[in-house]
Amino acid sequence: MSHSRRHFLQSSYGAGLVALATLMDDRESLANPKIAGKTGRFDNKPKPPHHPPRATAMISMVMQGGPSQIDLFDPKPALDDLDGKDFPGQVKYDDAAGATKEVMKAQWKFQKHGQCGMDFSELVPHMASIADEITMIRSMHTGVNNHGQSINALNNGSILNGRPSLGSWLTYGLGTENQNLPAFVALTDPRGLPVLGVGNFTNGWLPSIYQGTVVRPTEPRILNLDAPMSLRGEAQERYLSFVQNLNQSHLANRPGENELDARIQSFELAARMQSEAKDVLDFSDESQATLEMYGIHNKETKDFGTRCLLARRLVERGVRFVNLYTGNQTWDHHNHLATKLPAACKYVDQPAAALVKDLKQRGLLDSTIVHWGGEMGRLPVIQNRAGGKTDRKTVGRDHNTYGFTMWVAGGGFKAGYTHGETDEFGHNAIKDVVNHYDYHATLLHLFGLDSERLTFPRNGNEQRLILNSKARIVSELLS
């Protein structure tokens, strides 16, 4: 009786086990990495950078919605004097219907921290404890005043949907050191995906081998890691070897079918992950001190702390790029800022700081970029007043993409450094502005990649992450 490739894919072994057997030994091919696509085949084998890199991995903590820089990282004494008065200038609202011109000062106290004297709000005491390890960028700018467009600008270089995300570009250009784990991992929030959903970790028009692999926020974090008991061991190996031959024959008759090739490679990766992914997800070898540092025993910080620790374990094992997301609009505080912002900070503050400390103590921070920030900040004026003029319990702040704050650490960034300024009201970036394309150029440089040479042929053109010809490497940020 003959069997087709389709028959085996539909059998009880499941597509997740179709690992063919490049699974068994990739070492020889790994010894001779080639630039993606030069051989007509796209893969995640390690590829040489264009110049010596400072960073080899990145963990990006994405605070979707827009943390208020005015209340967290960018104190503005001028707002104290103007509090309750009309804003003395033009405000670039996103939601004019809910807007007011009434100035609202920072609602929490600031103090200077670390030997560098960096300013932090009382809402983020743990981040304040790593002041001497981070670069605080107070002059971020995308200038596109809604969530989706600004997410895209910071993630794929354009306001448009459908382009490859930053993690996809990095794995396309560099591959990964560990062929038993995905090169690009997305750690999603149990409360839901951020705005744009899976578009946050899409491969766009790059081959699908470069898309982000989701590790679920709740158990089972990766589905189908184990084959049924009756099919394990030698039976599975024989099966996979046979399907290997079917797949390679199928592919050989369809040269240049990159999506088919990518699908086969994803099946192969799924089988390789059966052993190594379980090890990554098992925290039993972590000390109690480490678990406590990440806040895993605390109900309020357990979820984000678990994902931060998982991110460290992934990059420790050679994963190139990890995104950690907060839920849809976690930081989009158009109202009830007084209660929502403290809750959002409590969720991430301790774990985010623990990640930087843990990477440093393990000798990984020098080669790992850590990023914390959202796609925008907030305005210095009140939005959505429901009570009287003195009632600040229900009000919030509107979007601001013209001057906001994020921080980075490790991987060649300066430690204990504050970069750029917004105006006296915290609205517009006015000094040492860092546009999204400048940020991308700087990241690629730290990874040893030339933005002009990191290209992908499409529709007769060489596509790039960075579209703006004025993009610059922000050398002031580099150590």
| pLDDT at res. 86 | 94
Provide the 8-state DSSP code for 194: P
What tens digit of pLDDT does each residue of 215-241 get? 988 888 877 666 665 565 666 666 666
477 neighbors 54 (Cβ within 8 angstroms): no
pLDDT at 154: 98
pLDDT of residue 98: 85
Q: How far is CA 369 from CA 53, 67, 223, 345, 408, in A?
A: 12, 20, 29, 21, 7
Structure tokens at 325: 């997301």
Amino acid identity at 312: R
Contacts of 72 (CB under 8 A, 6+ apart): 120, 121, 123, 124, 341, 345, 405
Q: What is the pLDDT of residue 33?
A: 33
- Residue 344 has a pLDDT of 98
Lowest mean pLDDT among 19-23, 66-70, 403-407: 19-23
Q: Parse the chain into domains and list their residue ranges.
A: 49-214+269-477
User: Which H or E element spans position 120?
Assistant: strand 118-121
Q: When comparing pLDDT for 198 and 257, which is higher?
A: 198
Token pair belonging to 125? 């005491």
Q: Which of 273, 264, 309, 270 shows the shortest CA–CA distance to 289?
A: 309
Residue 31, C-beta contacts closer than 8 angstroms, at least 6 positions apart: none
Query: 410-419: per-residue pLDDT in tens?
Result: 999 999 999 9
Angle between helices 337-361 and 302-316 (to 10 degrees): 30
> Band of the pLDDT at 26, cuts 50, 70, 90?
very low
Mean pLDDT is lowest, of 107-116, 269-278, 305-314, 455-464, for 269-278
Query: What is the chain's alpha carbon radius of gyration, rounded to the nearest angstrom?
Result: 24
Q: pLDDT tens digit string along 90-149? A: 999 988 888 899 999 999 999 999 999 999 999 999 999 999 999 999 999 999 989 999
pTM listed for this prediction: 0.86
CATH topology of domain 49-214+269-477: Alkaline Phosphatase, subunit A (3.40.720)
Structure tokens at 23: 């699974």
pLDDT, residue 392, reads: 83
pLDDT one-digit tens code per residue, 402-459: 999 999 999 999 999 999 999 999 999 999 999 999 999 999 999 999 999 999 999 8
Burial 183-192 (b: 16+ CB within 10 A, else e): bbbbbbbeee
Strands (E), 153-290: 184-187, 213-215
Distance CA 119, CA 116 (A): 9
* Residue 71, token pair as written in the block: 């209340």
| More confident position, 435 or 258 | 435
How many residues does the structure list for the chain?
479
Report the alpha-carbon distance of residue 453 to residue 38 in Å, rounded: 14
Terminal Cα-to-Cα distance of the chain (whole angstroms): 66
